[in-house]
Amino acid sequence: MKKTSTRLADGRELIYYDLRDDTVRDAVDRRPLERTVTTSEVRRDPLLGDCVAIASHRQGRTYHPPADECPLCPSQGDRLSEIPDSSYDVVVFENRFPSLAGDSGRCEVVCFTSDHNASFGELTEEQAGLVLEAWTDRTSELSHLPSVEQVFCFENRGAEIGVTLGHPHGQIYAYPFTTPRTALMLRSVATHKEATGGENLFDAVLERELADERVVLEGEHWLAFVPYAAHWPYEVHLYPKRRVPDLLGLDEDARTEFPKVYLELLRRFDRIFGGGDGGENPVDEPPTPYIAAWHQAPFGTLEEFDGVSRDDFALHLELFTIRRTSGKLKYLAGSESGMNVFINDVPPERAAERLREVASS
């Protein structure tokens, strides 16, 4: 992998990640952009104890542009985009409309490929491996910023999810605090560790899932399963079998196997709702909308979680769709949105069975 860092016309950082070491990246951003001004502010809710990012400047962000005006495609002739060069493998740049900025953290965009009509699941294993290297590198770099406590790499796909740009891309949020979901996990880990005399909760979960009927896909170094108490109709958790706190901790064997396992999972997600291969949907069913989210340990001592260190956390990816069946979405209504109590219409065992049925031939 070759990494080349440059600056856009308004001062934002842009980084090329290339498969070839001899690739030259010297294109200049020719757009007449002024310096980006953001109004991000993080406010703490005194009742719930969580934080909310207030970012009114995002109201003006780009919204569903036509394909020939996509800001994530490479620049071509007089059509100038966020990427100055005429091609790229993987590129990361600071979001022009960030939810978090300055002392409130940082937001970045990750473009998986220059092909506007592709998807992550259509990447080659080599391309997917390069994305993993980019995620890992950004986790390392962002963790050293004084305002950053946790790094979150994720992909939103599909208009149903709220995606405003159709180009295959993800994002990285660098939070100035430990997120509520991670804090809940760490508290559960601390409670379990004390109650069992030192047993790790993540290890116990993996051991249980390995022995149950919800395993979807197993490799030598990775395990994918539908969790016992899945919140979403189709939800898969992907863990490295050797517990590590973050992407930086993955060894070479796990990195090598990841693209094959992850690409297969994404392709199964596309097949469960159609595609003309015997799925439960018609051929013209749009691609499955999903969120793919990496969960990494916060950076710090974790003093507020008694007896827990970063090494007690387990890196994992959670992949889920808001579609519950053909043409129907799972909405977060009163119980979910009002009380954070999920009601799942699809038994996790059936979801796992379905995801096994649509395996590649």
- Could you give the CA distance from residue 357 to residue 338 in angstroms, rounded to a whole number? 35
Bin 241: left if φ > 0, else alpha if -120 < ψ < 50, else beta.
Answer: alpha
Per-chain mean pLDDT for the chain = 93
Whether 360 has a pLDDT exceeding 80, the answer reads no
Contact yes or no for 191/96 (Cβ under 8 A) = no
- For 132-176, how does the pLDDT look when each residue is reduced to its tens digit (9 = 90+)? 999 999 999 999 999 999 999 999 999 999 998 999 999 999 999
295 is catalytic: no
The better pLDDT of the pair 99, 36 is held by 99
Whether 300 has a pLDDT exceeding 50, the answer reads yes
Active-site annotation holder among 167, 169, 221, 295: 169
Q: What is the pLDDT of residue 264?
A: 97
- For 237-289, how does the pLDDT look when each residue is reduced to its tens digit (9 = 90+)? 999 999 999 999 999 999 999 999 999 999 999 999 864 333 444 456 789 99
- Residue 345's nearest CA partner among 212, 197, 204, 235 is 235
- Could you give the CA distance from residue 213 to residue 182 in angstroms, rounded to a whole number? 26
Contact yes or no for 109/92 (Cβ under 8 A) = yes
Tokens of 308: 């827990």
Q: What is the pLDDT of residue 36?
A: 75
- Give the mean model confidence (pLDDT) for residues 334-361: 93
Residue 119: which pLDDT band, with cuts at 50, 70 and 90?
Answer: very high
φ/ψ of residue 13, rounded to 5: -80, 140
Number of H helices, E strands in the chain: 6, 15
